[in-house]
């Protein structure tokens, strides 16, 4: 089969666009989802959109393997963050008996 | 002119003696109230003694103002020195004290009023330690402002006064003390911020070349007065530029708030009414003078162009303050409030006099600063005496006091008529010269202002009639005349008021040289 | 002897009364007899000295003066020096005035010993008399404007203190206040005048100013300013000498003790205005003098019209004083310098006498009423008197002489001076027109004679109002009687001129020759020779006229009140509105109260309101709008109420309140805001 | 290569010392009994050693681990400041009642604190974009846990939750921005970025987005409006000691990193302008962005602080406002401004810690954080009242306290850089700030205590710590040349 011209030869911009979309989706999730777990998922999306950029840049851009390396680190960080976050969520659940962001708003002006 | 005690200059002593007193007070155990009172009295008393010595050694012919050579009792040390780095020039802040004809009388006034304030604070029983500690801190602040010749130092002393005053009004004041205190605080703080900005602006605009040939930015007021020191391209460089006018206005407002000049005056009545007597005395006796002093010391010589450009504005505000203050005073039925408004009116005369940029006017103005200090201090003490005995301040609460308290009435009469500007008492002399000088520069404004003396007469005489004349009310049959302590506060002031009224020559001689020089300097560089 | 020693002597005369004042104020209570003798002695010695000074001075033509530096300005390099001096000037004018003041003062001191015996503040009273004498002498002796102004105010003070002597009475303290404030208005004008002079000449001394003027150096190079300065300075005189329109305080001043009225409000202080005009005569332009003349004329006339209908014995005298002062001022205005000043002197004598006499009467009435335990009857109302002649012969006969004198009957001092004034006015109008002036002058002369005799007759002649009271009334003691006799003697012509029909030949007239005007020809008044020539033309005519008119007035009073041929009441009724107006002093007080006093009060209220509401409530709009907000938070009410603080607190507070709303506590809202922040920045960057 | 490693390790000693301390803390927690005391002593000792080592680094200006970390005066200055903060926080913690309730887990508390400090050390030194991000995350993640340390409390739990979500998103922004930056410049350390910018960049739009996203990332750390929302809630919910730590140390570190990033890569190279690419590139207005953000921060934070009823919240807003004042210095893009920031940060550390310390003591004694409960405190415990008054007055910027000096220099720098409008706003903000600071003072002194409220007293140790804090606040107010001189010289960074 024949691919449309703009898809024929995938290049840096394609990846960047995908990354941007991922980022936006992640942000959207963080802002809109009421379940904290979902919010954390959104955060993962955001971080990985960055990873995608790094990898793309080192594939097409001037970066050598640095991009991949950075991506690895970021994934580790994301994992650590997720771990801590889940612990905290657990604690939240014990205190509030819910993981609904809306309800956890006792600290305010 | 040099004078040192234990190798420390006399001005440093004068400024920091109260701080020493404060520390001692803080060490005295709480129950030992008299010890604190005596400490405060001692500290301020010594201060007064030194001030008198200062007066004795003072050289009347020295010019001062913008001429480092002819300042007296100068103490100049490097305070903050930061050597230059590639991106910032050398930083220099001086510990620079000195007096000239402009400040010498103010120093004396401050010392005198401080002592008298302590004497009249004797009756204060609430939190004595805190009271005297703050009081002494306040005194240091005031004294410092009058002798500082480095803008940074000046500003520090200026702001140091603020908090003690806030607490002294806020804790020891009358029923609405909180409101009065915060109002005073906010007004003055706004002024302070304005001054700070101008100060920094000047700092970056002024740089002199020191011995080592390097360009040094400095807060030294005397360098700021030399237009040659303004760095080309800096914001306050040049003459009659917009920035310089803005700076002038900002400075003017920050000082006018302290004076207080219409329309920045509304904090004054409240502060006066609520403050305890000694603090009212300090407030009226010294604090208000800081405003006009600051103008003469800083605004006039550093921004002469602005001064000349805005002289009519100053005169007009002075005129309004005179008439308006007198009218408001007439409408009061609270004794203290009446005096507060009369202060506004009298400080208006100062403003008018100094706006004229003439010898007589300026001398009259500074003399009026001193006289208003003594006279109004007396007036507030007079109210205080009555308030201590009856806990009433309303003008209609009294009557016929004259028969009951003859000594008190006699002194009150002297003070009142001095405030009214009766010849033979000091008030007249300074008003006379302020008006004479002003008339030289502003015909109409002065003529309108002169009508103020009629209103003044009216409200003073009304007060006398309501309080002292007429039939004595039954409830006042038991009033006792002045005690020895109270006489002690009044007599010195009264003597000064009468002496300067009969023979102002010496006082005028003290400041004549400096002020003539200032006027000439402003007129030459400003036009 | 050397004239310079006169200076020392005059200083002594100046400071003796002051010493008296100080001693009495501090030790008065502890001295025997509360120290009245001390004050009196001081003044008597001073009087002796003053006599000496006068006699020495009159023998020599030139005047002597001395000055002492009071303050110095400038005088540093590049700045000129200005020196301000206080000093003494003794010429014939001041020498004569000196004697007049001290003489009356001394007599009043003696009289007061009797009159105020047992008063609550006896020693205080004598102290104040001393203060007054000192201040008055200051005005007389000064050689410069500043010192004159200083003492000008000081006499105001002592007058204030003495009028308010019985300050328990509201009316007394009110009168005192009124006097001071009304005077202050005049003084303000005077002060402005002085400023004009000083600012231009940088000196206060008369000689220096006159010198500069005669050299053609006008204030601000303009004749208008000169005239203005003259008139403004004259404002001081309008106040002090109770000239129209500032005359209102003098009648009220009668609240003071009668001897005080005699000294201050008849003989000396009120004459200070006249003295000042005489002192500054050279710098008045023709226009200024004309204004002065008219002010004097108006005052003289309407005061006389009021005097006619008064019933309070002191009020009648007060109004007649105003009228006579108007006379003097008018005389100076038309240039009859010597005449005007001479009238001051003679008037001082007989008007002081009249007041002391009335004082004696009131004293006697009081005593009688006291015996009757009658506290309602007004001891000063002449309707309660009559027939006192038999009981108080000394008082009557002296009073009679004074009345003759003031009415200008020949052989009295009054005739001499008044006749000269009339001649002066008439001569003036022959030269410059203005026929109104002599017309008024003659009318007033007639009216004076009428109302003075009305007073005399109603008080001393006829039957006493309450026959049982008459026997209780007794002649006053000698200490009060003698001063009356002395003054009576001084109201005779011989002391002023040996020719009973011509003052001009008398020593006083000679001594007071008119000084040369120093203003430029164009605006100068007509010179003395010219005026004198005109006077001598009309003199005889005037003399006859004046006698006729005086006698006419006298006779008319006699017919109305003694013989009762015409009924006073009928005439009053016939006059209708005129009568009411006159007896109500043409409603001046009412009008002033309505316009000025209430006006000022309203103004004060307005400005006070302005202060509280506008200035102190800048943008109260913001205040009220966010008032709700300040309710929500309790603290703001008791911390910031109004003013700039209020504005700041409420306004910023309100914003703060709104802003807090976004701190909802919901993390996702936060993130939304953050993301928006990010987007806005990015968009801005990418578009600009 | 080898000796480079050796040398690097030698240069890296302070950080190593910290790691050792961290481990020691864990061990001590396991073996020692009566933990709270002893563990804290161990940590204190460790920090002390680190301090000595840091002192030894003064004057160095090198880059180690092949341009990963710079050891230069700038870094040393901030390390010193951070250590001061760390030491004080540990001292606080020893006095804190809150923590005693969780004394079983106190070991991990100190461990985490040490960890955070370690992360901050990296932040101030890092020159490699990746390392920057790692350090950033290291501090953040440990802080999340610390914020929720008293996990039994609802507010504490909520605080940590909000903190981690907001923090994670912001770090997402940061890393995404970094990814773009890396992409457009092809460099992974700030020097490379600088060279690339000077050489010129084609995709300016991408560059702009990258810079803005990085700014967002930093802004969260230093609480710049509108990226500050987490701060008030977290500060209120977290234990006082941690709040103090976050409000001071982590802000200082954040600023340090931000300064280095902009100073090295953007500032002294008139970078984008030089090679005259299209107009956009010539005017990357990052300093204007920062100026505007600073202005907004100052105004908004001060206004919102007006109404606070909880003292910790109040101080939270005040610290946000101060971030605004400090940010002015960077917006000027002058070294003078940066030195002013450093002076401000050093002084701010002491006065803010002081205020928080008083809050902690009050919470210990009276168990309250409500401003209303402060009424009459000045009468009940003059020492405490006066100290608090001094700290607040310093925060408001009154002479003769150090706070005034801080303001003088930041205002001064702004004026000399000609940004009058900014300094005018700063002045206005200062006036507004007075209202809420003075309100606390008023409550303490102008309001009499109730009869029921007796005097409040403290043990000498607490007082000693207070004095420790008062001395710099007052002393630097009247004699500040040392700090100024130090700050001015410490602007030198490696590679500039």
Residue B322: how many CB atoms within 10 A of its CB? 30
- Contact between D307 and C633 using a beta-carbon 8 Å cutoff: yes
Question: Lowest-confidence range among B42-56, C294-308, C343-357, C610-624?
Answer: C610-624
Whose CA is closest to B352, among B420, B415, B295? B295
Q: Is the pLDDT at C8 greater than 70, yes or no? A: yes
Strand partners, C147: none
Task: Answer yes or no: do B241 and B173 share one domain.
Answer: yes
| Mean pLDDT across D383-409 | 92
pLDDT tens-digit profile of B251-276? 999 999 998 888 888 888 888 989 99
Q: Which helix (H) or strand (E) holds B93?
A: strand B90-99
Q: Is the pLDDT at C108 greater than 80, yes or no? A: yes
Task: Answer yes or no: do B253 and B388 share one domain.
Answer: no
Residue B302: pLDDT band with limits 50, 70, 90: very high
What are the backbone angles phi and psi of residue C312, rounded to the nearest 5°?
-75, 125
Determine the Cα–Cα distance for residues D258 and D214; give it in Å rounded to an integer: 9
Instruction: Please report, rounded to a whole number, the percentage of residues in chain C having pLDDT higher than 70.
Output: 94
C592/B contact by beta carbon, under 8 A:
no
Task: Answer yes or no: do B164 and B287 share one domain.
Answer: yes
Residue B478: pLDDT band with limits 50, 70, 90: confident
pLDDT tens-digit profile of D398-424? 888 999 999 999 999 999 888 899 999
Q: List the structure tokens of C410.
A: 């020949």
Domain count, chain B: 2
Please, are residues B141 and B157 in contact by the beta-carbon 8 Å criterion? yes
Task: Answer yes or no: do B375 and B473 share one domain.
Answer: yes
DSSP string, C146-214: HHHHHHHHHHHHHHHHHHGGGTTSHHHHHHHHHHHHHHHHHHHHHHHHHHHHHHHHS--BHHHHHHHHH
Pick the last residue of a domain from B300, B335, B368.
Answer: B300
ipTM, two decimals, is: 0.88
D324/C contact by beta carbon, under 8 A:
no
The side-by-side arrangement of strands in the sheet containing B90-99 is B72-82, B90-99, B215-218, B207-209
Q: How far is CA B470 from CA B397, C156, C169, D92, in A?
A: 12, 21, 6, 69
Domain count, chain A: 1
Q: Is the pLDDT at C642 greater than 60, yes or no? A: no
Q: List the structure tokens of D171.
A: 């770090």
**Is residue A108 a part of any domain in this protein?**
no
Which residue intervals of A1-109 are DSSP H helices? Answer: 5-8, 12-32, 36-60, 66-96
Q: List the structure tokens of C225.
A: 């300013």
Binding partners of B (≥3 Cβ pairs within 8 A): C, D
Determine the Cα–Cα distance for residues D162 and C665; give it in Å rounded to an integer: 9
**Is residue A5 a part of any domain in this protein?**
no
| Mean pLDDT across B413-436 | 93
| Mean pLDDT across A85-90 | 93
**Is residue B305 a part of any domain in this protein?**
no
DSSP string, B43-78: HHHHHHHHHHHHHHH--TT---TT-GGG-EEEEEEE
Instruction: Please report, rounded to a whole number, the percentage of residues in chain C having pLDDT higher than 90.
Output: 37
Instruction: Please report, rounded to a whole number, the percentage of residues in chain D having pLDDT higher than 90.
Output: 57
Please, are residues B265 and B139 in contact by the beta-carbon 8 Å criterion? no
Q: Is the pLDDT at B2 greater than 80, yes or no? A: no
Look at residue B363 in the predicted model and tell me its pLDDT.
94
> How many residues are present in chain B?
527
Q: Is the pLDDT at C77 greater than 80, yes or no? A: no
Question: Lowest-confidence range among B58-62, C491-495, C609-613, D119-123?
Answer: C609-613
Residue C568: how many CB atoms within 10 A of its CB? 13
Please, are residues B223 and B206 in contact by the beta-carbon 8 Å criterion? yes
Task: Answer yes or no: do B134 and B6 share one domain.
Answer: yes
Look at residue D102 in the predicted model and tell me its pLDDT.
80
Do B and C make contact via 3 or more CB pairs under 8 A? The reply is yes
Q: Is the pLDDT at C637 greater than 70, yes or no? A: no
Look at residue D277 in the predicted model and tell me its pLDDT.
37
Global pTM reads 0.91
Q: Exposed, middle or buried by CB within 10 Å (0-12, 13-18, 19+), for D255? A: buried
Look at residue D271 in the predicted model and tell me its pLDDT.
42
Q: Which residue has the higher pLDDT, C15 or A109?
A: C15
Contacts of residue A51 in chain D, CB cutoff 8 Å? 179
Please, are residues D166 and D220 in contact by the beta-carbon 8 Å criterion? yes
Determine the Cα–Cα distance for residues C319 and C316; give it in Å rounded to an integer: 5
**Is residue B371 a part of any domain in this protein?**
yes
Look at residue C614 in the predicted model and tell me its pLDDT.
64
Q: Is the pLDDT at C631 greater than 50, yes or no? A: no
Question: Lowest-confidence range among B458-467, C108-117, C439-448, C517-526?
Answer: C517-526
**Is residue B375 a part of any domain in this protein?**
yes
> In Å, how far is C158's CA from the nearest CA of chain D?
49
Show which residues on chain A lie within 8 Å of chain C, measured between beta carbons. Answer: 27, 30-32, 39, 101-102, 104-109
Structural domain span for residue A80: 11-96
Do A and B make contact via 3 or more CB pairs under 8 A? The reply is no
pLDDT tens-digit profile of B338-378? 999 999 999 999 999 999 999 999 999 999 999 999 999 99
> CATH number, domain at A62?
1.10.287.3510
In B, minimum Cα distance to D423 occurs at B197
Look at residue D270 in the predicted model and tell me its pLDDT.
46
Look at residue C162 in the predicted model and tell me its pLDDT.
92
| Mean pLDDT across D417-437 | 90
Look at residue D272 in the predicted model and tell me its pLDDT.
43
User: Long-range contact list for B165-169, CB < 8 A, 24+ apart?
Assistant: B165/B138, B165/B279, B165/B283, B165/B287, B166/D438, B167/B130, B167/B134, B167/D445, B167/D446, B168/B131, B168/B134, B168/B135, B168/B138, B168/B275, B168/B276, B168/B279, B169/B271, B169/B274, B169/B275, B169/B279
Instruction: Please report, rounded to a whole number, the percentage of residues in chain B having pLDDT higher than 70.
Output: 100
Look at residue D279 in the predicted model and tell me its pLDDT.
36
C628/D contact by beta carbon, under 8 A:
no
For residues D97-132, one letter each, b for 16 or more C-beta atoms within 10 angstroms of the residue's C-beta and e for the rest, the string is ebbeebeeebbbbbbbbbbbbbbbbbbbbbbbbbbb
Look at residue C613 in the predicted model and tell me its pLDDT.
66
- The DSSP secondary-structure symbol of C257 reads -
Q: Exposed, middle or buried by CB within 10 Å (0-12, 13-18, 19+), for B233? A: exposed
Q: Is the pLDDT at C105 greater than 50, yes or no? A: yes
- The DSSP secondary-structure symbol of C118 reads T
Q: Is the pLDDT at A7 greater than 80, yes or no? A: no
Q: Which residue has the higher pLDDT, C462 or C636?
A: C462
Q: How far is CA C352 from CA A99, C303, C357, C484, in A?
A: 108, 18, 8, 9
Residue C562: pLDDT band with limits 50, 70, 90: confident
What are the backbone angles phi and psi of residue D226, rounded to the nearest 5°?
-95, 30
Q: Which of the residues C655, C666, C670, C673 would you substitute to probe the A interface, choosing the one with the greatest number of A C-beta atoms within 10 Å?
A: C666
For residues A72-105, one letter each, b for 16 or more C-beta atoms within 10 angstroms of the residue's C-beta and e for the rest, the string is ebbeebbeebbebbebbbebbeebbeebebeebb
> In Å, how far is C661's CA from the nearest CA of chain D?
9
Contacts of residue B163 in chain D, CB cutoff 8 Å? 393, 398
Task: Answer yes or no: do B320 and B233 share one domain.
Answer: no
Determine the Cα–Cα distance for residues D399 and B144; give it in Å rounded to an integer: 14
pLDDT tens-digit profile of C508-557? 888 888 888 888 888 888 888 888 888 888 888 888 999 999 999 989 88
Question: Lowest-confidence range among B85-94, B259-268, D202-211, D486-495?
Answer: B85-94
Task: Answer yes or no: do B281 and B345 share one domain.
Answer: no
User: Mean pLDDT across chain D, nearest whole number?
Assistant: 89
Q: List the structure tokens of B428.
A: 């007249």
Task: Answer yes or no: do B38 and B186 share one domain.
Answer: yes
Q: Which residue has the higher pLDDT, D281 or C7?
A: C7
Please report the residues numbered 108 through 137 in chain B whose beta carbons come closer than 8 angstroms to any beta carbon of chain D. Answer: 130
Contact residues for D292 (Cβ-Cβ < 8 A; gap 6+) = none
Which residue intervals of D186-247 are DSSP H helices? Answer: 190-199, 204-221, 230-237, 240-245
B256/C contact by beta carbon, under 8 A:
no
- Contact between C674 and D226 using a beta-carbon 8 Å cutoff: yes
Q: How far is CA C658 from CA A41, B243, B356, C300, C662, in A?
A: 34, 35, 49, 76, 8
Question: Lowest-confidence range among A23-32, C119-128, C560-569, D294-303?
Answer: C560-569
DSSP string, B351-377: HHHHHT-SHHHHHHHHHHHHHHHHHHH
**Is residue A37 a part of any domain in this protein?**
yes
| Mean pLDDT across D447-476 | 89
- Contact between A101 and C668 using a beta-carbon 8 Å cutoff: yes
Task: Answer yes or no: do B67 and B34 share one domain.
Answer: yes
**Is residue B26 a part of any domain in this protein?**
yes
Structural domain span for residue B508: 310-527
Residue D451: how many CB atoms within 10 A of its CB? 6
| Mean pLDDT across C49-58 | 90
Determine the Cα–Cα distance for residues B179 and B171; give it in Å rounded to an integer: 11
In D, minimum Cα distance to C673 occurs at D226
């Amino acid at each position: 089969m024949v691919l449309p011209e703009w898809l024929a030869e995938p290049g840096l911009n394609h990846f960047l666009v995908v990354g941007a979309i991922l980022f936006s989706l992640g942000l959207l999730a963080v802002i809109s989802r009421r379940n904290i777990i979902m919010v954390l998922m959104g955060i993962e999306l955001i971080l990985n959109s960055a990873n995608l950029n790094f990898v793309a840049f080192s594939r097409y851009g001037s970066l050598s393997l640095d991009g991949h390396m950075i991506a690895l680190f970021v994934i580790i960080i994301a994992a650590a963050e997720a771990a801590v976050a889940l612990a905290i969520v657990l604690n939240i659940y014990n205190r509030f008996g819910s993981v609904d962001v809306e309800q956890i708003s006792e600290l305010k002006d | 002119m040099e004078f040192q005690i234990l190798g420390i200059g006399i001005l440093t002593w004068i400024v920091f003696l109260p701080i020493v007193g404060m520390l001692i007070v803080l060490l005295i155990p709480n129950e030992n109230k008299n010890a604190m009172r005596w400490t405060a009295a001692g500290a301020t008393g010594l201060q007064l003694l030194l001030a008198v010595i200062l007066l004795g050694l003072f050289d009347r012919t020295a010019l001062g103002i913008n001429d480092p050579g002819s300042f007296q009792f100068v103490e100049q040390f490097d305070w903050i020195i930061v050597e230059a780095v590639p991106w910032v020039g050398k930083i220099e802040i001086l510990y620079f004290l000195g007096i000239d004809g402009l400040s010498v009388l103010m120093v004396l006034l401050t010392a005198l009023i401080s002592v008298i304030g302590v004497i009249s604070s004797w009756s204060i029983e609430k939190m004595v330690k805190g009271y005297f500690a703050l009081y002494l801190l306040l005194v240091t602040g005031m004294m410092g402002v009058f002798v500082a010749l480095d803008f940074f130092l000046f500003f520090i002393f200026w702001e140091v006064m603020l908090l003690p005053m806030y607490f002294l009004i806020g804790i020891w004041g009358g029923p609405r003390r909180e409101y009065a205190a915060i109002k005073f605080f906010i007004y003055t703080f706004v002024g302070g911020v304005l001054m700070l900005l101008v100060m920094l602006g000047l700092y970056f605009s002024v740089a002199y070349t020191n011995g080592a040939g390097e360009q040094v930015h400095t807060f030294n007021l005397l360098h700021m007065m030399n237009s040659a020191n303004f760095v080309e391209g800096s914001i306050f460089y040049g003459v009659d530029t917009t920035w310089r006018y803005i700076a002038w206005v900002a400075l003017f407002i920050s000082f006018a708030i302290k004076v207080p000049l219409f329309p920045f005056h509304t904090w004054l009545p409240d502060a006066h009414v609520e403050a305890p007597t000694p603090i009212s005395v300090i407030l009226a006796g010294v604090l208000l003078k800081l405003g006009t002093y600051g103008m003469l010391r800083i605004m006039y010589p550093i921004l002469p162009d602005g001064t000349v450009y805005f002289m009519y504005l100053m005169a007009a505000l002075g005129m309004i303050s005179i008439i308006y203050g007198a009218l408001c005073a007439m409408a009061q039925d609270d004794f203290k409030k009446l005096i507060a408004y009369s202060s506004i009116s009298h400080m208006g005369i100062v403003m008018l006099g100094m706006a004229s940029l003439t010898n007589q006017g300026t001398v009259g103005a500074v003399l009026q600063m001193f006289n208003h200090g003594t006279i109004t201090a007396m007036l507030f003490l007079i109210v205080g005496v009555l308030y201590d005995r009856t806990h009433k301040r309303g003008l209609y609460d009294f009557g016929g006091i004259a028969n009951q308290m003859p000594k008190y009435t006699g002194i009150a009469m002297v003070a009142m008529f001095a405030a009214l500007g009766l010849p033979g008492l000091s008030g007249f002399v300074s008003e006379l010269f302020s008006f004479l000088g002003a008339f030289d520069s502003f015909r109409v404004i002065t003529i309108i202002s002169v009508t103020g003396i009629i209103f003044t007469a009216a409200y003073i005489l009304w007060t006398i009639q309501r309080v002292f004349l007429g039939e004595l009310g039954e409830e006042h049959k038991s009033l006792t005349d002045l005690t020895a302590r109270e006489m002690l506060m009044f007599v010195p002031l009264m003597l000064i008021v009468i002496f300067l009224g009969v023979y102002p020559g010496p006082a005028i001689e003290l400041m004549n040289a400096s002020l003539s020089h200032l006027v000439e300097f402003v007129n030459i560089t400003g036009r | 002897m050397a004239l310079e020693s006169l200076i020392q002597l005059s200083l002594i005369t100046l400071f003796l009364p002051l010493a008296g004042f100080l001693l009495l104020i501090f030790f008065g209570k502890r001295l025997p007899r509360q120290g009245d003798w001390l004050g009196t002695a001081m003044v008597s010695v001073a009087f002796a000295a003053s006599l000496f000074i006068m006699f020495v001075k009159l023998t020599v033509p030139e005047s002597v003066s001395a000055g002492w530096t009071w303050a110095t300005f400038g005088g540093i390099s590049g700045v000129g020096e200005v020196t301000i001096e206080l000093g003494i000037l003794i010429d014939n004018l001041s020498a004569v005035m000196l004697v007049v003041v001290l003489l009356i003062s001394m007599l009043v001191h003696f009289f007061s010993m009797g009159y105020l015996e047992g008063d609550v503040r006896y020693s205080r009273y004598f102290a104040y008399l001393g203060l007054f004498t000192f201040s008055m002498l200051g005005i007389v002796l000064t050689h410069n404007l500043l010192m004159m102004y200083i003492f000008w105010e000081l006499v105001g003070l002592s007058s204030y203190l003495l009028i308010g002597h019985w300050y328990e009475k509201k009316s007394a303290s009110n009168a005192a206040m009124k006097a001071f404030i009304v005077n202050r208005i005049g003084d303000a004008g005077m002060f402005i005048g002085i400023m004009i002079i000083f600012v231009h000449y940088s000196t206060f001394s008369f000689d220096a100013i006159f010198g500069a003027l005669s050299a053609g150096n006008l204030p601000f190079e303009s004749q208008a300013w000169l005239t203005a300065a003259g008139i403004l300075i004259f404002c001081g005189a309008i106040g002090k000498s109770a000239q129209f329109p500032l005359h209102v305080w003098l009648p009220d001043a009668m609240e003071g003790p009668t001897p005080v009225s005699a000294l201050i409000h008849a003989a000396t202080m009120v004459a200070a205005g006249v003295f000042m005009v005489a002192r500054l005569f050279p710098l008045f332009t023709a226009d200024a003098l004309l204004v002065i003349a008219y002010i004097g004329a108006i005052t003289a006339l309407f005061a006389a019209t009021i005097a006619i209908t008064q019933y309070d014995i002191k009020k009648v005298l007060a109004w007649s004083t105003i009228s006579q002062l108007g006379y003097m001022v008018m005389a100076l205005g038309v240039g009859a310098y010597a005449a005007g000043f001479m009238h001051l002197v003679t008037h001082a004598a007989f008007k002081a006498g009249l007041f002391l006499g009335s004082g004696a009467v009131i004293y006697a009435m009081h005593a009688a009423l006291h015996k009757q335990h009658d506290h309602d009857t007004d001891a000063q109302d002449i309707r309660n008197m009559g027939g006192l002649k038999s009981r108080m012969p000394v008082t009557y006969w002296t009073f009679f002489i004074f009345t003759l004198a003031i009415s200008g009957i020949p052989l009295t001092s009054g005739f001499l001076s008044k006749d000269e004034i009339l001649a002066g006015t008439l001569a003036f109008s022959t030269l410059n027109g203005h026929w109104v002036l002599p017309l008024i002058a003659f009318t007033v002369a007639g009216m004076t004679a009428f109302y003075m005799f009305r007073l005399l007759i109603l008080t001393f002649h006829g039957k006493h109002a309450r026959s049982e009271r008459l026997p209780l009334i007794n002649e006053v003691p000698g200490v009060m009687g003698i001063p009356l006799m002395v003054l009576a003697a001084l109201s005779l012509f011989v002391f002023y001129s040996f020719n009973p029909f011509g003052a001009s030949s008398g020593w006083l007239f000679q001594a007071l020759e008119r000084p040369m005007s120093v203003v430029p020809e164009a605006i100068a008044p007509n010179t003395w020779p010219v005026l004198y020539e005109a006077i001598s033309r009309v003199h005889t005519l005037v003399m006859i006229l004046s006698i006729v008119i005086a006698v006419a007035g006298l006779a008319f009073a006699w017919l109305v009140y003694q013989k009762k041929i015409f009924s006073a009441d009928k005439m009053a009724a016939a006059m209708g509105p005129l009568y009411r107006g006159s007896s109500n002093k043409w409603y001046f007080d009412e009008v002033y109260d309505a316009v000025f006093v209430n006006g000022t009060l309203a103004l004060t209220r307005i400005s006070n309101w302005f202060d509280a509401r506008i200035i102190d409530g800048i943008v109260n709009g913001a205040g009220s709008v966010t008032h709700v907000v300040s309710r929500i938070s309790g603290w703001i009410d008791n911390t910031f109420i109004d003013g700039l603080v209020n504005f700041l607190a409420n306004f910023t507070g309100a914003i703060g309140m709104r802003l807090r709303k976004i701190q909802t506590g919901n993390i996702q809202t936060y993130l939304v805001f953050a993301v928006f922040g990010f987007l806005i920045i990015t968009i801005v960057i990418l578009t600009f | 290569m080898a000796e480079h490693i050796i040398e690097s390790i030698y240069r890296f000693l302070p950080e190593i010392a910290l790691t050792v301390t961290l481990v020691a803390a864990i061990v001590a927690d396991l073996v020692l009994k009566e933990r709270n005391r002893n563990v804290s002593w161990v940590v204190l000792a460790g920090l002390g050693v680190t301090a000595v080592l840091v002192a030894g680094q003064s004057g160095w200006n090198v880059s180690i681990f092949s341009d990963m970390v710079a050891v230069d005066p700038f870094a040393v200055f901030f390390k010193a400041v951070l250590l001061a903060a760390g030491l004080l926080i540990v001292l606080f913690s020893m006095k804190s009642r809150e923590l005693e309730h969780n004394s079983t887990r106190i070991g991990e508390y100190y461990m985490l604190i040490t960890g955070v400090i370690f992360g901050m050390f990296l932040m101030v030194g890092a020159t490699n974009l990746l390392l920057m991000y790692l350090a950033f995350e290291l501090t953040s993640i440990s802080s999340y846990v610390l914020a929720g340390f008293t996990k039994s409390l609802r507010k504490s739990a909520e605080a940590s939750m909000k903190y981690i979500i907001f923090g994670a998103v912001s770090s997402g922004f940061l890393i995404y921005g970094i990814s773009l930056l890396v992409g457009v410049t092809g460099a992974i350390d700030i020097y490379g970025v600088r060279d690339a910018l000077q050489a010129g960049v084609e995709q300016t739009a991408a560059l702009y987005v990258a810079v803005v996203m990085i700014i967002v990332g930093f802004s969260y750390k230093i609480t710049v409006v509108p990226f500050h929302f987490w701060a008030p809630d977290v500060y209120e919910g977290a234990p006082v000691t941690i709040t103090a730590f976050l409000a001071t140390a982590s802000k200082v570190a954040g600023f340090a990193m931000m300064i280095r990033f902009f100073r090295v890569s953007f500032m002294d190279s008139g970078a984008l302008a030089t090679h005259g690419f299209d107009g956009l590139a010539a005017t990357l207005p990052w300093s204007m962005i920062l100026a505007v953000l600073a202005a907004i921060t100052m105004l908004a934070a001060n206004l919102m602080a007006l109404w606070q009823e909880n003292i910790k919240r109040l101080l939270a807003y005040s610290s946000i406002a101060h971030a605004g004042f400090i940010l002015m210095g960077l917006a000027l893009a002058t070294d003078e401004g940066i030195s002013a920031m450093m002076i401000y940060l050093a002084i701010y550390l002491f006065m803010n810690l002081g205020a928080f310390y008083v809050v902690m003591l009050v919470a210990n004694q009276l168990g309250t954080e409500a401003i209303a409960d402060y009424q009459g405190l000045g009468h009940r415990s003059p020492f405490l009242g006066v100290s608090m008054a001094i700290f607040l007055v310093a925060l408001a910027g009154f002479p003769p306290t150090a706070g005034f000096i801080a303001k003088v220099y930041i205002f001064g720098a702004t004026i000399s850089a000609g940004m009058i409008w900014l300094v005018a706003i700063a002045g206005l903000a200062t006036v507004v700030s007075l209202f809420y600071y003075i309100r606390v003072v008023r409550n303490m002194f102008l309001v009499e205590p109730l009869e029921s409220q007796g005097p409040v007293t403290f043990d000498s140790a607490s007082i000693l710590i207070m004095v420790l804090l008062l001395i710099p606040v007052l002393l630097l107010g009247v004699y500040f040349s040392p700090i100024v001189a130090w700050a001015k010289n410490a602007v030198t960074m490696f590679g500039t």
